[in-house]
Amino acid sequence: MTEVVTVWTVARRPRWIAALALALVVAAGFAGLSQWQLARAVATGTVIERNTETSVPVEDVAKPQAPVTSRANAQVVTATGRWNAGDYSLVSNRLNRGVMGYWVVGHFSAGLDSGTTAGLAVAVGWSVDRAGATSALKALGKEASLAVVPIEGRYIPAEGPQDSDFEHGKLSTMTPGAFLNTWKTPDSAGVYGGYLTSAVAAPGLTRIDSPKPSSDVEVNLLNIFYAVEWVVFAGFAIFLWYRLVRDAWEREQEEAAEASAAEGTAAGAQPAHVN
For residue 171, the enclosing domain spans 56-198
For residue 1, name the pLDDT band (cuts at 50, 70, 90).
very low
* Residue range 23-50: mean pLDDT, rounded: 81
Instruction: Judge whether 159 lies within some domain.
Output: yes
Number of domains composing the chain:
1
* Calpha distance 257→253 (Å, rounded): 6
Q: Is the pLDDT of residue 266 over 50?
A: yes
Instruction: Judge whether 270 lies within some domain.
Output: no
Instruction: Judge whether 168 lies within some domain.
Output: yes
Q: Is the pLDDT of residue 104 over 90?
A: yes
Report yes or no: 61 and 74 within 8 Å, Cβ to Cβ.
no
Give the pLDDT of residue 90.
93
Give the pLDDT of residue 243.
93
Q: For the chain, what is the mean pLDDT?
A: 86
Backbone angles phi, psi at 79, to 5 degrees: -150, 155
Backbone angles phi, psi at 43, to 5 degrees: -65, -45
* Residue range 94-106: mean pLDDT, rounded: 95
For residue 178, name the pLDDT band (cuts at 50, 70, 90).
confident
Give the pLDDT of residue 75.
95
pLDDT digits (tens, 9 = 90+) for 44-92: 655 556 789 999 999 999 999 999 998 999 999 999 999 998 899 999 9
β-bridge pairing 191-198 and 149-157: antiparallel
Instruction: Judge whether 228 lies within some domain.
Output: no
CB atoms within 10 A of CB 125: 27
* Residue range 147-157: mean pLDDT, rounded: 94
For residue 239, name the pLDDT band (cuts at 50, 70, 90).
very high
Instruction: Judge whether 45 lies within some domain.
Output: no
Looking at the chain, the whole-number percentage of residues with pLDDT higher than 90 is 58
Q: Is the pLDDT of residue 131 over 90?
A: yes
Report yes or no: 87 and 182 within 8 Å, Cβ to Cβ.
yes
* Region of residue 115 (left: phi > 0; alpha: psi -120 to 50; beta: else): left
Instruction: Judge whether 148 lies within some domain.
Output: yes
Give the pLDDT of residue 7.
86
For residue 3, name the pLDDT band (cuts at 50, 70, 90).
low
Q: Is the pLDDT of residue 263 over 60?
A: yes
Instruction: Judge whether 243 lies within some domain.
Output: no
Give the pLDDT of residue 143.
80
Direct distance between the N- and C-terminal alpha carbons of the chain, in angstroms, rounded to an integer:
34
Instruction: Judge whether 18 lies within some domain.
Output: no
Judged by average pLDDT, the poorest of 57-66, 71-80, 145-154, 250-259 is 250-259
* Residue range 248-269: mean pLDDT, rounded: 80
Give the pLDDT of residue 60.
94
